[in-house]
Structure 1
């Protein structure tokens, strides 16, 4: 791995001998690291029959060829091995044009990507069509060549979106670096170095997974030629100037004296930094987001009918995540979330509830919250719900959980591991730097989402695992640590056990059997896990009542809970507890649109999971308050924090669908209500 600071080497004139000390001073690296890095560079040059660097009289000599080969040295492969996808080409084509280094032509694009003229013309046409949706045009004139036209803020947001799309691929990163090298040999190193220095100086807590995209975005903005003035509204300027990040942005920009930028650039730079900085509770200007975090938690508790025990910890964790999310959403910075489809599939019910619970953030930003953002909040809440399981266990091993993708992914990873290994005590760490400061005596093993080279056992895991991946992980850990438990045999083990006793038909191979069995296991394991009942399975016809009787809100809750009591799913005490909770905490059970969700804690008298529904002909005022008129009471008897979530997720979808909600409120019989509940499950 070549350290980015070695890029300063290619900015030094070739053919001149340099001492190790001179290279130390130029790169800021220690003698030991410089010698190691020079060795790696020379090794690559020699292995590929290039002219190596020469050591003569304690000085290092290198040729001009080093600059031409720099990307190959960094990546350890040749440029002809790099093949850009259509998406990568179009994103890089936009970014090359965004830099405006020279009069760009089709030939320039061809030369950059090493593809045919027809391929470039096709890419240009498709890119133009895509850009038109954002009021951006890719124009051409003989005088200017290819150039972008549009409002500067929008041009930058599109550049940011393009970077996030390709930053995770090798070809994408190669192209990003190659384009910057046309501007300056050290632009990336300069931006990266001064960004790290600013982070260190101001002690910012950064989400590690967002560093790369930020480095490149800043580099492309700073070295974009003839850029227009960026527009920042006065209200944003006013409160951005109250944050310490504004001073940090000014310090950062001051390190680039040769780069021209407008007076508003420090404010824009502050916005960029705020999209990756975890919240700081000491910033009084961000107190409104702490209040928003509190509202979101209470919404989630209300909608999911749960109570978070470690409220303060959750509040801080949510605040840390909420701050950058607020800035991304409000100012339209894109966010990549490669896990979003897995999150929706494995945590569908929590996703639906989280989406509705984030309403305070939607109001605050005035923007619809993208699914990618909702996904990260979902795994944060999912991790906390998982952590609340009561586990009576004897601690035998200590493990660290390392997930640099951010606090949300870390929490869900920790929660899943706790469920798999109840006899292991897990501690959370979110950066490799934190790991380096922890004594090896404090842990036995590490579960990490990134590869590590350390003497202890390291298990490489995804933040969200499939059932088959969980099963394979359990086997490895139990074999290594001798943890008692029942483990399902692997597909390989099953096949190897059976093969000596069976004769394969013609055309049937071991690999074919493996694929079939693998698919079957995944399907079976998924079915086994999905035991949470649906809304229509809980609210059956006998659990639904309609009445035109006049009653107060306490009588309505008692009436609504009667089917649960009759089927012995609850005790009389549970009804009293539901009523008392409203008296103690207010109309929190009103989940909107005239629907109330009375509930209490499982230990207050729940025997079995259940729900019952009462629809009254005339609205009843909850706590005799006209602001809380209730038409439908849905009593919930939950046995834990999770088994009822699928049913409530379906309920939130019904509440979010205006047509279905109106039909539900207008329903006059049990059959209509049942049909609407089932329809809501399909939304």
Structure 2
């Protein structure tokens, strides 16, 4: 039985519910016709074994109904078939890499030739490809007499390589499937990373982190831990002590998880290993403000990314900013470290995401250089696809509130009446707004109209906008042409909102109440918000958060400060917030220590720095101070030094300072304003330029 047929049979046996032909075709990347042929081959095989056949349930899909004994029989047959199957090149390469990296036995190529039943030249070609592949990880594979194959490279690079190779081979290992129901690649992996080990690590995850969640964070965390255990048991250890200083940022659940794993597997005298694994697992977990030193950078990036994607796609994602920004922020906080330390997630849905959300994917992809520059590494397509998921979720919510339309012009030489008929049909059938009906002599007017598409009854040349030539009367076959044309040009869709954003009305009402009665209590605020919600009026609570002018007091502005170095500058800009007890001295020391530990990450733009620490380090309330510098100070950021303006931010939650962050994003992109702010000599002029531009 062919491997593809065997995989299809395995899928049908394990499925609890019918699977549609469309879903099967997408999963196996086959046409519907080829998929039907594969099902026929499965049925031929089942018939030979005197087992029930795959049948179609009307409106539901394909179903193979077997009792427990019959399922056992199929699993035995599939397992026997796999043992006799000759491995393909990609499977041999996976086996060779894992055998070299994880096997307790010495690996010799002539033994592998016999095992694979292939020639020496075939295995030589496999090894050539492996050497090219591992070169990208800074690893060499050597064939040593009497020792066999060995890996030469840093231990952390070897573990990262194994993790990457495993994820690329099968996406994410499904821990819930039975061993005998695994694919060939999964079976190879489980030969070197035992399934019982993975199950034990997964059980520890239940007890230390969560027994209910089942997501890609969990799978990746368990996978990486299992790989580290396998290497450690083979006496391959992390020797460097550079991870020790980073354990101060490890969350309690991760620390408990690693400690329990080490106790369970009997690891002792492994402080370096403990620190390394804890830090890497923290990057695989969703981050919040209290665990990630990158929280400010993650928030800046999430704001910039939303603005960028909205501009590129013309989809109003800012209307779903509250949930979208929070989700992106938590994801990006972990993502930054994953990229830096080469432990990026594999995304099993990557191809489907790129296909079904291609416009959003291209927009996110065009933002990638900013992330690459920040991390010094290249973000993978898999990780980009995870970012797209956040946007596609918001898009689904938006689609319930908005309709789309196209703005077009009609060119017709059959007379104004015929052109108007075509125009009205387009409006009625396809939600197209036609701005004008023109003759071919009036083509020059198109450039003056705000239109995206052109419909014409005659061929035209050298037009800069998408064109579809139609008959004046829209017939059934023309409808398909138009639908396909609109689909091909869906990036030109415009938004027609079906809901009312009442944020500004809500804000104005609060101001009236505050003025006439007094400060609005939290309870009254929430009750009023519920009334708006009941009436189906949208209120974006984040837009009601303080603006920069609401919290930046005159006494928080320092002009032409004289600082000896960057540590001194952080002390200077912190003093106004220390004085009014917005922050503690511990917060200042945490800001300085973070730069010492992690480098000049607080330099966020050209000549612009944002000093900050984690809320738990001594932030008492929301606050902001700023200082310009008489003699610019270098932090060690080659791209943006020297710093001429430094802000100090104290934040106590994930969103109350969001409007401040938005403003800083604008300032990052406005070097001229930064230059003007640096040159002013009075607080009044500084505020005028800062707040009004």
* TM-score category, normalised to shorter length: 0.3 to 0.5
TM-score by length of 1: 0.44
